[in-house]
Structure 1
Amino acid sequence: MDTKKKQPIVARVVIYLIGMVLLALGITLNTQAGLGASAIVSVPYTISQGTGLNFANLTLIVYCVLVVVQFFIKGKDRRWMDLLQVVVSIVFTRFMALFQYGIKYQSGFLPTDLLVLALGILFTGIGAAMTVDMRLIPNPGDGIVSSLADRFGRELGLCKNCFDVFCVVCSLVIGLVFGNPLIGIGLGTVLSMLGVGRVIYFFNHLAKFRLQKMAGL
């Protein structure tokens, strides 16, 4: 393969990895704002809050479960390549653990909490857009939503909304077991559900074409 052919592939991988880092940073900031986790990671975050176990490690476990569930949802359409989502999850959650360790923000002052939350939503949306736009390996959260949309013939956005609601309900039930149904759910959860999609929309409107052109797509 000559140099000219290699360049778009390298650019595609680099953009994907940058997106993964930004996504991990965004989710970490979202939780550190102390206003509730985004829907997709609200279950591991709630368990973490209730048990004291590491949030990143719990997220890895939940993501692996989502990969297994995808295999059942897809049925005959399953691909062994889907297992690469586990590798992506390991790398992604290690970035989360790194940010969790390195960022020592203490929540409790609402104006700065809202600022940290806004940054979390911004980075989450940009990171999600960059990883999805490169059309490589989806993270398990996106993968299972796509699987549900294909399996039931429904629009992707609708399946995303339904899955988010399902995650929030599960988190409320788990929180109830720990004595506080809102232990991992709050204003930040609602704002993330509304805001991340808007960030993805505007980012793609401004940058998707240029990024995909750089990546040879």
Structure 2
Amino acid sequence: MMYCIGLLILALGIILNTKTGLGVSPIISIPYSISKIWNINLGNATMCIYILCVAGQAVLRGKKFHLFDLLQIPMSIIFSRIINIFNDMIVINCNNLIINLLLLAAAIMLTGIGAYITVKMKIVPNAADGLTQALSERIKKGLGLAKNITDISCVIITIIIGLVCAGKIVGIGLGTLAAVIGVGRAIALTNMLFEKKMIVLVE
């Protein structure tokens, strides 16, 4: 139940981030730019990118990649459907910078909380988080550095896709930078406040 709640909160945070108009979070920036440039459903684009994340894990882990890790694919399909639901439900047309910044702060906090819950439940990781973890194991560095590498790579790929295919940068902005910095802090804050309760719940 907590895992499902975490997925809902994570999807809500991601969609709120896209609705502010200030730039989307790094990991969703690639499917977001694809959906905008070629008018493709955001959930479907996200699902395809997440499946590529699972393939990336298989390459990085090699023989250490297990069949259990493939469960991230059906999880990605479910997650992409949730994203579609929230994307259709939430309509925000606001040109007030202060309100949009408040929405961005809420989006970052929700994304951090959702990511924290899904990881702590130790069931099936989000495909993007799984890729970050696989990269961390491969380069033998901390998750923080691996997360930075993943985020920066996503931003660079998004910029290239936008410039080559649309002649402009799509989806990258203040909200992207805020998400790079803020989501990690939101996860740390959530961990500080609820770590003991989560440990008890998991056990």
**TM-score (structure 2 length as normaliser):** 0.96
C-alpha distance in 2 between matches for 1:160 and 1:93: 21
**Counterpart residue number, 1:180:** 168
Q: CA RMSD in A?
A: 1.0
TM superposition shift of 1:129: 0.5
Alignment partner of 1:20: what SS? Answer: helix
1:122 equivalenced with 2:109 (yes/no): yes
Gaps of 5+ in 2: none
- In structure 1, list runs of 5 or more residues that go unmatched: 1-13
2:73 corresponding residue in structure 1 = 86
Match of 2:180 among 193, 212, 216: 193
CA distance in 2, matches of 1:69, 1:158: 17
CA distance in 2, matches of 1:31, 1:195: 15
2:23 to 36, 40, 48: 36
Segments of 4+ moved more than 2 angstroms: none
Matches within 5 A, 1:95-134: 95-134=82-121
Please say if 1:168 is aligned against 2:155: yes
Would you say how many aligned residue pairs link Structure 1 and Structure 2?
A: 202
**Letter of the aligned partner of 1:110 in structure 2?**
L
The TM-score, its normalising length taken from structure 1, stands at 0.90
User: Which structure's CA Rg is the greater one?
Assistant: 1
- 1:105 and 1:116 map into 2 onto residues whose CA distance is 10
**Which letter does structure 2 place at the counterpart of 1:142?**
D
Deviation digits for residues 82-125 of structure 1 (CA, Å, limit 9, x no counterpart): 11001111111111111011111124321221121111101100
Answering whether residue 44 of structure 2 is matched by residue 57 of structure 1, we say yes
Q: Tell me, yes or no, if the aligned pair for 1:27 and 1:124 is still in contact at 8 Å.
A: yes
Give the Cα separation in 2 of the matches to 1:79 and 1:88: 16
Whole-angstrom distance in 2 between the partners of 1:150 and 1:43? 24
